Structures are given as structure tokens and as C-alpha cells.
Amino acid sequence: MKYYKKNKPFKKFSNFLTYAILIITVIVTLTPIFLMVVSSLSMDIQSLGKTTVENSKAGSVSLISTHFHLKNYIAVFKMTHFLTYMRNSLFVAGFTTIFSIIIAILGGYAISRFKFKGRIFFSQGLLVMYMFPPVLLLIPIFMLLKSMGLFNTPFSLIIAYTTFSLPFCIWMLKGFFDSIPQDLEEQAMVDGCTKLGSMFRILLPLSGPGIATTAIFSFILAWNEFMYANALINTDKWKTVTVGLPSFAGQYMTEIGIMFAASTLLIIPVLIFFSFLQKFIVRGLTAGAVKG
């Protein structure tokens, strides 16, 4: 009891420091997003060029005002190809996620459940592959996809993104499968299930948090990637939003209000995706960490 009373002030200070750090972190993280959203609703449709910069230095231009409107959002849909970019990004990110999950489930299951020569070496090699810098593979992948006739098509991005996400996805799902007792599958097989049937009826439902977490990783990777999208796509018809958004900035002027509005719309699909899968995130990140 004396020990508890002695350490009570220290515990209070520790809790205060923890909450203070968390509050500061949240403020630092959300402030740029808040300024972007408010600016998109308050700025007039004007170009940020040399004249505007000079006026802003003189104090006559402000990014935020008290007059809110939707002109910038209307201009995004009327004056740009934003909807096309969003459609392409959703197409690429969606199919990348689907292919990554399907292949990762099969690969993770094979490494987790089957005993074969080189299994440990192969599973550890997945992490080495994931740590390999993607920029070093840009030219070989570009030449390979061009020779296959896939250059300047969304399928080139789907193949490239799936290749990059697979090592981590397989490793993640392998950890989740390891945490599920194999006795459950064996019991299902005793009751008449095949090996494949026990995987679909027992293993996959129990691995829902892990699959959801892996899907989020694949989607975010494909949604935010810029380098390969910029190198493999050069037509507005198939540009993704990460490549199309910088095109709003010209050589001499930038429609800064429209860019803020487009950037705000860009984060909405990610927020929707997280809202459906958020209950799996924490559970999924911790479930595969310890082998059951």
C-alpha cells in the first residue's frame, strides 16, 4: 500500500504525459487535413501564380475565409478529369486488392500448413523481397510490361502493385494461419471435409481480421502509389488520381482552390474503406503476432 501511495504522483504524471503526447500527435496530424478541407470550402476559384503570391505577401490574399461555398468542388467535376482519375484508381486498387488477397491466402496457407523442403527459407525470403526498393525494379518492369503490350493500360499497374504487395500479404496471412490450431481443420476433415473445404469453412472465417488487415494494406498501397503510375501511364484516359492531381498545377499558375477540393475528395474512398473494416484493424494486427 505504501509503495502504491509513493508511486501515485508518478503514475498521474505518466498518464498526463501520455495523454498530452497523444493530443499533440492528433493535432499535428489533423491540422493539415483541417486546413485543406476549410480552404477548399472558402477559397475563391483563382490561380496561385506570381501575382497571387505577391498579393499574399502584401497581406491581401488568405487561404481561409469565413465565406464558405462549393464552387471549388463544382469546378473539380466540370473543369477537370477528376472522375476519370477516381474511376481508374478505384479499378486498379480494387483489383489489386482482390488478386493480392486470393494469391496471398493460397501462398500463406501452403507455407503455414504444408511441410516442404526450403519452406523456412522461402518464408523468410518474402520479407527480403518486400524490403527490396521498388525504384530499382522500375526499368525492368517497364520493359517487361511494354513487351507484353500492357504499357499504358491499367492492367500494367495491377500486375506491378500485386507483385509489390504479395510478399507482405503472404507473410501476414501466414502468421494468422499459424495462430489458428490445426486441430480444428483436422476435426472438420474427420467429419467429412476435404483439405480445401476445411480451409474455406474453418480457417478463412477465423482469419477474417487478418484478411481484412491485409486487404487494407493492399488497397492503400495501390491507391497512394505514384512512381509506377507516372511511368506506366501517360494518357488521361487511364491516369490514376495520384498522377492526375499534380496536373492541376501548371507551369505558371495553380488552381489552388480546386486542388484542395480534389485532395479532399481523394481521401473519401479511403475513409469509407476504413469505416467498413475498422473493427478488424487492431484485432487483425495483434491476432497474428502470437502463435497459438
> Where are the domains positioned within the chain?
2-42, 71-287
Local structure of 220: helix, strand or coil: helix
pLDDT tens, residue order, the chain (292 aa): 554 455 667 677 788 888 899 999 999 988 888 888 888 888 765 555 544 444 444 444 455 556 777 888 888 888 888 889 999 999 999 999 999 999 999 988 888 888 878 777 877 777 777 777 888 888 888 899 889 888 889 999 999 999 888 888 898 888 888 888 888 888 888 877 787 788 888 888 888 888 888 888 899 889 988 899 988 988 888 999 888 887 776 655 667 778 888 888 888 888 887 777 666 665 555 554 444 4
- The grid coordinates listed for 16 are 498526463
Tell me, what amino acid is at 275?
Answer: S
Q: What are phi and psi of 171, to 5 degrees?
A: -65, -40
pLDDT at 93: 93
Sign of CA dihedral 206, 95, 215, 169: positive
- The grid coordinates listed for 107 are 501462398
As a whole number of angstroms, the distance between CA 241 and CA 85 comes to 5
Judging by beta carbons within 10 Å of its beta carbon (0-12, 13-18, 19+), is residue 269 exposed, middle or buried?
Answer: middle
The CATH class that applies to domain 71-287 reads mainly alpha
Task: Give the distance between the most distant pair of CA atoms in the chain.
Answer: 80
Is residue 210 within 8 A of residue 172, CB to CB? The reply is: yes
Model-wide pTM > 0.75:
yes
- In tens, the pLDDT along 87-109 reads 999 999 999 999 999 999 998 88
* 225 Rama class: left (phi>0) / alpha (psi -120 to 50) / beta: beta
Taking residue 243's Cβ as centre, other Cβ atoms within 10 Å add up to 23
Q: What are phi and psi of 69, to 5 degrees?
A: -155, 175
* Spatial CA neighbour of 289 closest among 174, 154, 194: 174
Judging by beta carbons within 10 Å of its beta carbon (0-12, 13-18, 19+), is residue 50 exposed, middle or buried?
Answer: exposed
Which runs of consecutive H residues, i.e. helices, occur in the chain? Answer: 2-42, 50-57, 71-79, 82-113, 119-131, 138-147, 154-178, 182-190, 195-198, 204-206, 208-224, 227-232, 241-244, 256-287
As a whole number of angstroms, the distance between CA 258 and CA 76 comes to 6
Sign of CA dihedral 89, 94, 97, 103: negative
Q: Cα–Cα distances in Å, from 117 out to 75, 120, 122?
A: 60, 8, 9
As a whole number of angstroms, the distance between CA 232 and CA 154 comes to 9
As a whole number of angstroms, the distance between CA 230 and CA 156 comes to 12
